[in-house]
Structure 1
Amino acid sequence: MTPPKTPDALTNWVDRLPPRAALYARLARFDRPAGIWLLFWPCLFGAFLSPPAGWWRWWPLFLLGSIAMRAAGCVYNDIVDRDLDAKVARTANRPVASGAIPQTSAWIFLILLSLVGLAVLLALPVAARFVALGSLLLVAAYPFMKRITWWPQAWLGLTFNWGVPVGWAAAEPALRAEMPVMLLTYAAAIAWTLGYDSIYAAQDVEDDALAGVKSSARALGPRLKAGVGLFYAMTILLLGAALWRWTASPLPLAALAPAALHLGWQTLTLDPQDSGSALTRFRSNQLTGLLLLLPILLAAFVRAA
């Protein structure tokens, strides 16, 4: 028997797995890989804030860590949110909320995924290890934020983009950009997350209101498109400020144009009342991450020249 899917699940390799394995793959969101990319790109944002000497040394670890820790975060989130998920149409079929996977089994799966993350952590340079450990509190607190604040998306931004300081710390200390450049880049990534996760939250506004779940989409209400546009404008301005401080060259700033146009397209064409529109624009941020990375890459070459 094929396990039930959430409405936003993709048809992909997960559907070819045995039913029990498919349940765990969906629990880890392997059927929806967008989150892996959204966790991976910020690691490269930070790692590329240095001349191009040692970039390729760490990217496989960042990718493996993004896969494992995004999955672990989803499992933890589903365990904590199982009662809320059961009240929301989009999430009611999640394996823990629906009872298809018992909580004890979910905890065991979480531990196994965390061990993979630990192996990645131990393979990183010492400085990056200590920075990475700083994310544990952010990850642990995130599922509770929707009960506390109207802006859980801001907390997600702090959490999901922790790869910026981790990637930066993994570079050689003598080569990496100064800390203010990294912090501006981190702030730009947080603004980006505020934008795309507000779009994502637009899918659940009505159900969230019934369940008492808070979100930026609910807080912004009819001003959602304007809010997303503001967050995306902040993304471009903050990253532009970081690149200018690092290189004082107009070339990386010009290279921000494709990302700015893409973010503008998301904002202008978003229909907050249409779940399909919101989901498509959210998923398009897999491409946005690459478009934001390219100016950083160019700036690194300018800096090295």
Structure 2
Amino acid sequence: MGPVVTPPSPITPDAVKSWIDLLPAGAQAYARLARFDRPAGSWLLFWPCIAGLALAGGLQQQPWLIAWFGLGSLAMRGAGCVWNDIVDRDLDAQVARTRDRPVASGRISVKAALAFAAALALVGLAVLLQLRGLAQVVALASLIPVAAYPFMKRITWWPQAWLGLTFNWGLAVGWTAVAPFDSPEMWLLWAGGIAWTLGYDTIYALQDIEDDALAGIKSSARALGPRARAGVSVFYALALILWAAALWLSSGQALAVLALVPLAAHLGWQVVKLADMRPANALLLFRSNRLAGALWAAACAAVGLA
């Protein structure tokens, strides 16, 4: 008798139970390819949009953009994930957590995945058309760093920094939807967002640190090694300092930085809990950044609405 071959699982280990489990198998594969079963990434794309919109005063001027940014975050995060899986299909096949992804496992062909990405991009186009011209240009410019992101883990130890650039691009889109592009507050918010992403995606990368080493995949988690927890604390502290500067500059009042206290407490909790770097705990802490993003956007709203 030959060796027993285990067929690929339709569900990756970090998926969560949802309505997707009720879909037919074929539809499930596409939903999982777009990470609809793992909504944390969509939230992490959404909250920077709202933070930028809120601090720029957009909640008063164009509150309906919140819904459009929600749809755009879902669609464009999905399109980005599809592109990432197409580029990374060979690497994904070498990592336990990702080898059962639809493209890496062969359940969806590269051609079909590209067509699906194009369909998701059309949804993003519908959102783009709701924005004024300046914000449209800013949003379109994001396509270049998004397309380049999957290659970063091959050429730099810090692909998380590039991810921070792309995942917080929506902040500039939200800001320029209602305000000028040259506002220093926007740049401070964006820089803080990049530092925040460096922190939470380093936590995420801890799940794969052993498999990444075997496959030759670079990450901040591997670069930091046993200093990963210290690195995350530095990234989070830098994010808070930059965001505090943005709120202070925007309001003209030092007390505005108190709006960040709940967020600071939450990020501090993450650092404390990161004493346990096992994959399950790393995933839990990564997902908790949905709340961190909400607290960041709430702080910006509190100052922007004042």
**Does the aligned pair in 2 maintain the 1:224–1:272 contact within 8 Å?**
no
User: For 1:82, which of 68, 80, 89 is the aligned residue?
Assistant: 89
Equivalent position of 2:223 in the other structure: 219
**Does the aligned pair in 2 maintain the 1:40–1:163 contact within 8 Å?**
yes
Q: Partners of 1:230 and 1:211 in 2: how far apart?
A: 28
Equivalent position of 1:195 in the other structure: 199
**Does the aligned pair in 1 maintain the 2:51–2:298 contact within 8 Å?**
no
| Superposition deviation, residue 250 in structure 1 | 3.3
| Superposition deviation, residue 272 in structure 1 | 5.4
User: For 1:153, which of 152, 160, 174 is the aligned residue?
Assistant: 160
| Superposition deviation, residue 55 in structure 1 | 3.8
User: For 1:185, which of 179, 182, 189 is the aligned residue?
Assistant: 189
Equivalent position of 1:59 in the other structure: 66
User: For 1:287, which of 285, 288, 291 is the aligned residue?
Assistant: 291
TM-score by length of structure 1 reads 0.95
Give the aligned residue type for 1:82: R
What are the within-5 Å matches in structure 2 for residues 232-251 of structure 1? 232-251=236-255
**Does the aligned pair in 2 maintain the 1:48–1:55 contact within 8 Å?**
no
Give the aligned residue type for 2:65: W
Between 46-55 and 35-44, the greater mean CA deviation after superposition: 46-55
Give the aligned residue type for 2:161: A
What are the within-5 Å matches in structure 2 for residues 57-206 of structure 1? 57-173=64-180, 179-206=183-210
Equivalent position of 1:261 in the other structure: 265
Number of matched pairs: 299
Q: Partners of 1:107 and 1:159 in 2: how far apart?
A: 20
Equivalent position of 2:49 in the other structure: 43
**Does the aligned pair in 2 maintain the 1:3–1:23 contact within 8 Å?**
no
Q: Which runs of 5+ in 1 are unaligned?
A: none
Specify the SS of the correspondent of 2:72: helix
Q: Partners of 1:143 and 1:272 in 2: how far apart?
A: 28
Q: Over the residues paired in the alignment, what is the CA RMSD in angstroms?
A: 1.5
Between 246-255 and 287-296, the greater mean CA deviation after superposition: 246-255
Specify the SS of the correspondent of 1:99: coil
Q: Partners of 1:123 and 1:238 in 2: how far apart?
A: 30
| Superposition deviation, residue 3 in structure 1 | 5.5
Give the aligned residue type for 1:235: A
| Superposition deviation, residue 60 in structure 1 | 1.3
**Does the aligned pair in 2 maintain the 1:30–1:71 contact within 8 Å?**
yes
| Superposition deviation, residue 251 in structure 1 | 3.4
Runs of 4 or more, structure 1, over 6 Å off, are none
| Superposition deviation, residue 248 in structure 1 | 2.1
Q: Partners of 1:284 and 1:132 in 2: how far apart?
A: 27
Equivalent position of 2:4 in the other structure: none
Q: Partners of 1:272 and 1:129 in 2: how far apart?
A: 43
Equivalent position of 1:23 in the other structure: 29
Q: Partners of 1:135 and 1:148 in 2: how far apart?
A: 20
Q: Partners of 2:277 and 2:298 in 1: how far apart?
A: 33
The Cα offsets for residues 243-276 of structure 1, whole Å up to 9 and x where unpaired, read as 1111122332112111001001101111454101
Specify the SS of the correspondent of 2:305: helix
| Superposition deviation, residue 2 in structure 1 | 10
| Superposition deviation, residue 41 in structure 1 | 0.3
